[in-house]
Amino acid sequence: MTTASESTTSKDHEIGSLDGELDGAPDSTPPKEKMDLPRIERAIKEILIAVGEDPNREGLRETPARVARMYAEMFRGLHDDARVHLQKFFTEQYDEMVLVRDISFNSMCEHHMLPFSGKAHIGYVPNGKVVGLSKLARVVEVVSHQPQVQERMTEQIANLLIEELDVKGVAVVIEATHSCMTIRGVRKPSSVCVTSAMKGIFRSNLSSRSEVMTLIYGNQR
């Protein structure tokens, strides 16, 4: 069994190094050439006018350009392919569970264009193909940096592992707080939304499912 966590240093039998691989990772500069920044700027200016603001007052003059760059960053996953991160696997006859816990992420709710953020936990049982642990974090990065809903994001991650690694089972659990619930609407600041996708043996085998849930939650609460 392999577990890893971004927030702990206990790594008994880990495969690959999460921290090491993230160090050499490409930066998060948005692919500007694929984003129509001037168009976003115009739209933000329109919103400012529409709410009754003066987009030319000093404090707001740079805002449309700043927001455009921010959206380019938040949505950079639209121009990235999560699959490529799973295509550098190595062949390993390891058929116990691999779990990466506490992969933090920030995403943007597509219903309100407000951020939601939290942690993703990904467990899988390989079927000959094993990826470096940081690759799972990369997949979360790509999938979260697009207009999203948490339920779909959870499914997408699980399906990517099935399609690219042909895993025997995959369990994805995501916990997140949604600004659209905490700062507006029902205003429930402490609510956490939990979604899960269980496939393969995690769906069919109750003890595998409870094992992964225990590993995710066992020593935290």
Catalytic residue annotation? 109-112, 150, 178, 180
Count of residues touching Zn ion (by CB under 5 A): 4
167 with 125: CB under 8 angstroms? yes
**Residue whose CB is less far from Zn ion, 109 or 130:** 109
Q: How much of the chain is helix, strand and coil, in % rounded to 5?
A: 45, 25, 35
d(CA 130, CA 16): 10
Is 180 a binding residue for Zn ion by CB under 5 A? The answer is yes
b or e along 39-59 (b: 16 or more beta carbons within 10 Å of the residue's beta carbon)?
ebbeebbeebeeeeeeeeeee
1 with 12: CB under 8 angstroms? no
We find the least distance from the C-beta atom of residue 151 to Zn ion, in angstroms, to be: 12
Hey, what are 15's tokens?
């495969």
Closest Cα to residue 150, out of 185, 184, 106?
Answer: 106
**Residue whose CB is less far from Zn ion, 95 or 151:** 151
Binders in 87-126 for Zn ion, by CB under 5 A: 109, 111-112
We find the least distance from the C-beta atom of residue 112 to Zn ion, in angstroms, to be: 4
**Residue whose CB is less far from Zn ion, 43 or 149:** 149
Closest Cα to residue 174, out of 144, 201, 218?
Answer: 144
Q: Which residue is it, tokens 């956490």?
A: 192
**Residue whose CB is less far from Zn ion, 159 or 179:** 179
- Give the interface segment with Zn ion, choosing from 52-60, 123-131, 176-184, 198-206 (CB under 5 A): 176-184
We find the least distance from the C-beta atom of residue 47 to Zn ion, in angstroms, to be: 17
- Give the interface segment with Zn ion, choosing from 33-41, 69-77, 94-102, 178-186 (CB under 5 A): 178-186
The number of angstroms, rounded, from the C-alpha of 5 to the middle of its chain's C-alpha atoms is 15
We find the least distance from the C-beta atom of residue 113 to Zn ion, in angstroms, to be: 8
- Give the interface segment with Zn ion, choosing from 59-67, 77-85, 164-172, 173-181 (CB under 5 A): 173-181
d(CA 15, CA 148): 30
We find the least distance from the C-beta atom of residue 77 to Zn ion, in angstroms, to be: 18
Binding residues (CB under 5 A) for Zn ion: these are: 109, 111-112, 180
